[in-house]
Amino acid sequence: MKRIIFEIVLVLALAGAGAFGWLNYKSGNANNVKLTETTKQAETADKKIAELTESLEAAKQEIEPLKVKAQELDAVKAAMSSGEVLKDLEAAYKKEKSLSTERQLGLGALRLMTKGSKDPATVEAFKKALEMADWGSRKNVICAAQNALAAAGEKVDVLSECAGATTAKAAANDDKVDDHGKPAAKDGQGDKPEKAGKDAKTGKGTKHAAHWDYEGAMGPENWGKEFPTCARGKSQAPLNIKGPFEKALFAIAPDYKPGPLRIINNGHTIQVNVNPGSKLRIDSMPFELLQFHFHKPSEELIDGKPAAMVVHFVHKNSEGRLAVLGVLLKEGNENPGIKALWAHAPAKEGPEVQPDGVTFNPGNLVPRENEFYSYEGSLTTPPCTEGVRFFILKSQANISREQVEQFPFKKNARPVQPQNGRAIAG
């Protein structure tokens, strides 16, 4: 039952996200409404009405422009149901190379509203969006949608974790991708809030319980309460890598290309999102690099010992199989690749940043020798979905102690998991 309610809320929310995406797109036009501004103005007006009861004339003047806004909102709603919005949005997005999760979701929602659920393009748009989105980003979209709907005067129950957590605009701009670039699995439908964010408008910190964390009540030993696979899975990662090893029967070859640097502090790690074109060949099968991110210390142990950090390169093949290439970072010389990244890594959780004119080649972080340990594992973050192939390079890269200290997380590594008879190649 909870599941059904969740899905209904999601669909409702998606409809709002579509409206929101369209409003963002239209926001350049002076005669269109920004929902967040309207809310703000409405709140201000509410206060003023109370304060200005003695001076009714003055209050009327305040209310008059808001009436106009309300009429504009009605026009927006009418345009949505007529399909004009979908047409506009599709035309606008056609010009862009790739769409963010939130835009993809919005597009799916609009198709649903305009063309109905039987339309194959609707289903495709949703599938694509859900593939891209984990619960964290879905929650952000839901919050954005709920706030937007509420601002538009729709009766909508705003989830407690959405209330005041982020403004609709801030949430909708958050192009968050899961730690392991994995769609939220069936067991990942947690409804607890993400880490507390700062309100983008007021700069005021808001108190929130963490959705999941690396310590405390939401720490790894408790992930299973909300994400059953984390506790019940039999091939969880990371592992303590130790012999005896099986012989690896094939080779891997990273083929990474430079591209615009897109870097995000998602509250759990520093992650670099990668444009299409970089691949890892596993037994000559191509796996597309989606993103890479860091853990401190390394999640994998070699003979019981962690490295200072690890970088996980997350790939997916055309069948949706995930493969993670791990490069352990041992304390030593400064790493020029890391230096380039840390220069732009946001110290606080927030949306992806793409600094002007900065490119990065993920290959700069990968040692030349491709010998590896390999095992079948899982996402090392909730929802801990299994079926992820791990390749941990035997060669380690350097990172200076200073660079380790500059990483804005004190500790973000899941402890090693039971091997449960799994073979490790190496």
Minimum CB distance to Zn ion smaller for 104 or for 381: 381
Is 296 a binding residue for Zn ion by CB under 5 A? The answer is no
> Least distance from C-beta 378 to Zn ion, angstroms?
11
Compute how many residues bind Zn ion; rule: CB under 5 A: 1
> Least distance from C-beta 347 to Zn ion, angstroms?
20
Residue sitting closest to Zn ion (CB): 312
Minimum CB distance to Zn ion smaller for 73 or for 177: 177
Select the span of 34-42, 93-101, 185-193, 311-319 touching Zn ion (CB under 5 A).
311-319
Select the span of 42-50, 162-170, 307-315, 385-393 touching Zn ion (CB under 5 A).
307-315
Q: Which residues ranging from 395 to 424 are in contact with Zn ion (CB under 5 A)?
A: none
Q: Which residues ranging from 255 to 274 are in contact with Zn ion (CB under 5 A)?
A: none
Is 312 a binding residue for Zn ion by CB under 5 A? The answer is yes
Selecting among 180, 208, 211, 268, the annotated active-site residue is 268
Q: Which residues ranging from 170 to 189 are in contact with Zn ion (CB under 5 A)?
A: none
> Least distance from C-beta 314 to Zn ion, angstroms?
7
Select the span of 151-159, 254-262, 305-313, 402-410 touching Zn ion (CB under 5 A).
305-313
Q: What are phi and psi of 341, to 5 degrees?
A: -75, -45
Minimum CB distance to Zn ion smaller for 169 or for 312: 312
Residue 199: HSE in the Cβ half-sphere, 13 Å Cα cutoff = 15
Minimum CB distance to Zn ion smaller for 312 or for 389: 312
Token pair in block for residue 310? 């690890």
Minimum CB distance to Zn ion smaller for 18 or for 181: 181
CB atoms within 10 A of CB 120: 9
Minimum CB distance to Zn ion smaller for 6 or for 409: 409
Tell me the C-alpha distance between 126 and 112, whole Å.
Answer: 9
> Least distance from C-beta 161 to Zn ion, angstroms?
25
Tell me the C-alpha distance between 178 and 261, whole Å.
Answer: 18
Minimum CB distance to Zn ion smaller for 17 or for 413: 413
In the chain, the amino acid numbered 86 is L
Shortest CA distance to 290 belongs to which of 141, 131, 139? Answer: 131
Q: Name residue 291's beta-bridge partners.
A: 273, 314
> Least distance from C-beta 312 to Zn ion, angstroms?
3
Select the span of 44-52, 89-97, 275-283, 310-318 touching Zn ion (CB under 5 A).
310-318
Select the span of 70-78, 182-190, 312-320, 408-416 touching Zn ion (CB under 5 A).
312-320
> Least distance from C-beta 201 to Zn ion, angstroms?
32
> Least distance from C-beta 352 to Zn ion, angstroms?
17
Is 315 a binding residue for Zn ion by CB under 5 A? The answer is no
Asked about 293 being catalytic, the answer comes back as: no
Q: Among all residues, which ones are annotated catalytic?
A: 268
Name the residues that contact Zn ion, by CB under 5 A.
312
